[in-house]
Amino acid sequence: MNLQRSTLSAGMHQIDAQLAVTPAQRQTGLMFRKEMPQGEGMLFIFEEPVQQCFWMKNTLLPLTAAFVADDGTIVNLADMKPQTTDSHCSKKPVRYVLEMNVGWFAKKGIKAGSRLRGQVFQASK
């Protein structure tokens, strides 16, 4: 899939985020991909904030999901194992979920309460 991209920042760290905006893009997500460069991720954008739950049934990469509030604040993070059907859910309603390679957030010291910045978060206001 050739998805639209947006640059996000987490402190001094840049993220090249593919945007999954339509229901079909969100449903496919990162399934079946064998690799994803460091510093790249996928931002799932939903119409309105609700509790979001993700699983990894056909996803081959270990990922960390950041559940993100409208203002870019990370609500919670969840490490997800490839090819599992375990549900990983936001602790409160969110509109955004950013998936990155597992360990990326931890290596950068980014955790719940950290703030992501980018044009996409301004558009939701």
Domains defined along the chain, listed by start: 5-123 (2.60.120.1140)
State the number of CA atoms in the 13 A half-sphere of 101 facing the CB: 13
Q: What is the pTM of this model?
A: 0.96
Residues 6+ apart with CB under 8 A from 77: 64, 65, 66, 67, 105, 111, 112
The pLDDT profile of the chain, 125 residues, written as one tens digit per residue, is 689 999 999 999 999 999 999 999 999 999 999 999 999 999 999 999 999 999 999 999 999 999 999 999 999 999 999 999 999 999 999 999 999 999 999 999 999 999 999 999 976 55
Q: Give bridge partners of residue 17 from the DSSP assignment.
A: 6, 41
Q: At which residue do the structure tokens 């044009």 appear?
A: 119
- Residue 124 has what pLDDT? 57
